[in-house]
């Protein structure tokens, strides 16, 4: 790292000289340079005679160009640091007399970013995301141990089984472009290490601005069952971002962010960034109190501590009374949705009792009605409540729950009638 420091000092000097030159030139033109102009990163690989760099500048110029402008390149991290491994390393291929990984794994990042990888592994972006479609049977012994040690790994087995059923039903030709595309954020690699940092740090820029912008999350956090992106866009926070975000301090030093850098929060501000009294974390469950994705939400382990951390973020911009009141109201709304889902289970119970549902999942309309009620509308209502999206609480949430509940009652009545059984409800 010593050599890297020297390089940083050298580069800083170059940047300062360039910046001064730019100031002189633009002052001459009687216009002031913007902060963005001054901060425009130099190409750290400009004069490089490294083999990978010189050949790949021809073969894959985009990658070299991007990487040259990254903070890591400026800090002296080389192509070899991430790609070159010893012969026989799982997943490696021979390349130009060396052995390389086409997709460097989290084990490689861990050489330098121990804390980020450990936090990621403790989160539902790690193995739980993968198990959600692949099941836990295919984990190795070591992975099973990691999976079991994730405090927030506990989830409702009902929910997981329902989704796995869809995975099997649709088949791999479809799901490799669907479930896998999103849930492989937690897929283990050939060397056994877990997950894909490049889900958020799109190669090869490793830009803080890109990771912090909410669009980064919307590849996955979108659609009828988890419309966090749509909700955010509708929220006052999202509106503030859309209308003024171009002036925010996207490249500010991590760990010390405040409302002076971000006058309204993005997804990353609330869930990841060090902000106010909350420290930076790659464990995205670290600030959550409920398992909102579950059909019937229960409290997370250590939820009181998580709450203190999330409220530490809110506290940068809102007063404690406002936040306390908001949490009490959002808790009550969460419990109201829980009660509706319980009611839907009770509605369908007589069919289960009398064996009037086919054993196969998703093969008759009532399976879909019962599933949509919690999986789409129940979740959406809860997410809308917690992230300030009134239209999602109301018209894409509660209203649809009531609609599906009415449909469910009729479907149950019809099936009981068909079977010649008395309907208790009339
Ligand atoms: C003499 C030229 C040359 C050198 C030197 C070279 N590469 Fe390559 N590399 C290539 C070519 C050509 C490809 C294939 C590009 C393609 O298929 O479009 C490639 C492909 C790759 C791939 C992707 C392989 C895949 O199948 O997706 C990686 C990763 C890679 N190189 C890394 C490196 C690293 C790291 C170094 C330095 C240790 C390096 N290369 C040195 C020419 C070179
Ligand atoms: C900080 C780690 C890191 C460094 C440094 C790095 N890479 Fe990569 N590289 C990755 C990751 C991660 C991927 C896989 C990303 C993906 O597939 O989305 C990758 C993928 C690639 C690929 C395959 C792309 C493809 O489309 O198949 C090539 C080629 C490559 N890198 C070349 C380079 C070269 C050349 C350098 C140096 C200029 C370099 N990388 C530096 C992490 C790194
Ligand atoms: C050889 C050590 C090394 C490896 C391997 C490495 N990094 Fe880095 N990384 C660094 C250094 C050094 C910095 C710069 C720290 C600084 O300037 O504050 C950094 C910074 C970063 C940043 C912050 C960028 C910024 O602008 O502040 C991200 C994101 C990042 N690395 C992701 C990764 C990922 C993902 C991998 C694995 C694919 C990886 N790194 C592998 C050493 C490494
Ligand atoms: C667009 C990306 C995307 C696709 C496609 C997708 N999911 Fe998800 N899935 C997510 C996100 C994001 C969550 C987290 C929701 C939350 O916590 O609010 C999630 C949650 C889940 C959960 C609940 C959490 C758990 O681990 O129990 C299961 C199970 C699940 N998905 C399985 C699947 C299956 C099976 C498929 C394919 C049939 C699929 N998903 C398709 C993004 C996706
Ligand atoms: C869910 C998206 C997401 C994933 C996945 C992710 N990161 Fe990050 N990462 C971020 C965000 C957002 C930031 C900026 C945090 C902030 O605002 O300070 C960041 C920042 C970083 C930094 C700079 C941290 C600092 O304090 O200087 C490093 C290093 C890093 N990530 C490494 C990784 C590694 C390694 C992985 C894979 C194990 C990874 N990230 C996976 C979103 C992600
Ligand atoms: C490549 C897809 C992908 C991207 C990109 C992504 N996520 Fe996720 N995220 C998931 C999946 C899948 C889950 C559900 C995992 C599970 O519970 O099984 C999830 C779950 C979560 C959760 C709930 C965790 C818990 O403990 O229940 C939060 C919060 C979250 N993501 C935040 C973010 C933020 C913020 C970003 C952007 C900076 C982001 N995610 C980017 C796929 C993604
Ligand atoms: C103002 C802060 C804030 C912003 C901005 C924000 N969230 Fe959230 N998010 C929350 C809160 C608060 C909760 C619920 C916390 C709890 O359970 O106590 C939550 C819940 C979630 C969950 C549900 C986890 C579960 O239990 O199923 C996911 C996933 C998520 N957010 C992702 C995102 C994404 C993606 C974005 C951006 C598109 C985003 N959030 C923007 C504060 C925020
Ligand atoms: C970086 C500053 C910032 C942070 C952090 C922040 N907010 Fe906000 N919040 C705003 C702004 C700006 C508005 C919209 C303008 C206004 O209400 O004056 C807003 C509005 C709201 C509103 C809507 C108020 C209304 O009038 O309808 C709620 C609810 C809210 N925030 C809750 C939260 C919660 C909960 C958190 C933490 C999880 C949080 N906010 C974190 C800046 C922030």
pLDDT above 70 covers a percentage of the chain that reads 87
- Per-residue CA distances from 324 to 100, 278, 320, 329 (Å): 52, 17, 6, 9
Which residue out of 45, 56, 80, 93 has the highest number of ligand 1 atoms within 8 Å of its CB and is therefore the one to mutate?
56
Question: pLDDT tens digits, residue range 93-110?
Answer: 999 999 999 999 999 999
81 lines ligand 3 (CB under 6 A): yes
Q: Which ligand sits nearest to residue 159's alpha carbon? A: 4
Domain ranges within the chain, ordered by starting residue:
2-80, 114-199, 242-419
Residue 164 clears pLDDT 90, i.e. is over it: no
15-24, 122-131, 208-217: lowest mean pLDDT where?
Answer: 15-24
125 lines ligand 4 (CB under 6 A): no
Question: pLDDT tens digits, residue range 264-301?
Answer: 999 999 999 999 999 999 999 999 999 999 999 999 99
Could you give the CA distance from residue 82 to residue 201 in angstroms, rounded to a whole number?
14
More confident residue, 39 or 278: 278
Could you give the CA distance from residue 274 to residue 183 in angstroms, rounded to a whole number?
25
Which residue out of 127, 226, 289, 377 has the highest number of ligand 4 atoms within 8 Å of its CB and is therefore the one to mutate?
226
Helix-then-strand count for the chain, H and E: 23, 3
Q: What is the mean pLDDT of residues 183-206?
A: 95
Could you give the CA distance from residue 130 to residue 193 in angstroms, rounded to a whole number?
13
**How far does residue 242's CA lie from ligand 2's centre (Å)?**
31
Instruction: Report pLDDT for 278.
Output: 94
The string over 91-107, giving b where at least 16 C-beta atoms fall within 10 Å of a residue's C-beta and e elsewhere, is bbeeeeebbbbeebbbb
Assigned token pair, 286: 């670290």
pLDDT above 90 covers a percentage of the chain that reads 81
Question: pLDDT tens digits, residue range 331-367?
Answer: 999 999 999 999 999 999 999 999 999 999 999 999 9
Assigned token pair, 253: 């030093």
Instruction: Please give the model's pTM, rounded to 2 decimal places.
Output: 0.93
Assigned token pair, 281: 């974390």
CA 351 to chain centre: 38
More confident residue, 422 or 369: 369
Instruction: Report pLDDT for 157.
Output: 61
83 lines ligand 2 (CB under 6 A): yes
Instruction: Report pLDDT for 137.
Output: 86
Q: Using a CB cutoff of 8 Å and minimum separation of 24, what contacts does 257-264 make?
A: 258/316, 259/316, 259/317, 263/317, 264/236, 264/237, 264/240, 264/317
Question: In the CATH hierarchy, which top-level class contains the domain 242-419?
Answer: mainly alpha
Instruction: Report pLDDT for 38.
Output: 43
Q: Is residue 318 within 8 Å of residue 259, measured between CB atoms?
A: no
**How far does residue 138's CA lie from ligand 2's centre (Å)?**
28
Residue 415 clears pLDDT 80, i.e. is over it: yes
Could you give the CA distance from residue 341 to residue 343 in angstroms, rounded to a whole number?
5
Report whether the peptide linkage leading into residue 204 is cis, meaning its omega lies within 30 degrees of zero. yes
Which strand (E) or helix (H) includes residue 129? Answer: helix 127-134
């Amino acid at each position: 790292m010593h050599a890297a420091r020297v390089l940083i000092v050298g580069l800083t000097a170059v940047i300062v000289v360039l910046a001064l030159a730019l100031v002189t030139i633009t002052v001459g033109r009687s216009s002031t340079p913007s902060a963005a102009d001054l901060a425009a990163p130099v190409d750290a690989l400009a004069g490089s005679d490294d083999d990978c760099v010189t050949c790949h500048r021809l073969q894959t110029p985009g990658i070299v160009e991007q990487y040259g402008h990254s903070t890591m390149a400026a800090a002296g991290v080389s192509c070899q640091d991430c790609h070159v491994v010893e012969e026989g390393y799982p997943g490696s291929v021979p390349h130009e007399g060396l052995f390389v990984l086409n997709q460097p794994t989290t084990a490689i990042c861990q050489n330098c970013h121990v804390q980020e990888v450990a936090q990621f592994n403790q989160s539902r972006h790690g193995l739980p995301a993968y198990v959600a479609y692949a099941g836990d049977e295919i984990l190795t012994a070591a992975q099973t141990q990691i999976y079991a040690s994730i405090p927030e790994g506990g989830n409702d087995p009902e929910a997981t089984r329902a989704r796995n059923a869809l995975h099997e039903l649709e088949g791999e030709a479809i799901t490799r472009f669907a479930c896998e595309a999103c849930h492989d954020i937690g897929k283990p690699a050939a060397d056994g290490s877990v997950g894909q940092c490049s889900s958020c740090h799109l190669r090869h820029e490793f830009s803080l601005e890109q990771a912090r912008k909410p669009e980064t999350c919307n590849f996955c956090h979108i659609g009828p069952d988890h419309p966090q992106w749509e909700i955010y866009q509708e929220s006052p926070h999202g509106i503030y971002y859309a209308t003024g975000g171009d002036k925010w301090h996207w490249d500010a030093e991590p760990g010390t962010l405040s409302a002076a850098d971000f006058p309204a929060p993005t997804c990353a501000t609330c869930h990841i960034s060090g902000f106010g009294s909350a420290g930076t974390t790659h464990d995205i469950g670290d600030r959550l109190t409920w398992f909102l994705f579950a059909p019937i939400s229960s409290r997370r382990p250590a939820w009181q501590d998580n709450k203190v951390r999330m409220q530490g973020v809110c506290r940068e911009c809102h007063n404690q009374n406002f936040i306390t009141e908001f949490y009490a109201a959002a808790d009550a709304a969460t419990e109201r949705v829980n009660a509706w889902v319980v009611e839907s289970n009770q509605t369908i119970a007589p069919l289960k009792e009398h064996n009037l549902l086919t054993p196969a999942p998703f093969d008759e309309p009532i399976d879909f009605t019962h599933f949509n009620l919690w999986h789409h509308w129940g979740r959406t209502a809860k997410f809308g409540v917690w992230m300030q999206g009134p239209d999602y609480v109301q018209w894409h949430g509660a209203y649809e729950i009531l609609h599906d509940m009415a449909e469910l009652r009729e479907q149950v009545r019809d099936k009981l009638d068909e079977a010649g059984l008395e309907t208790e409800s009339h």
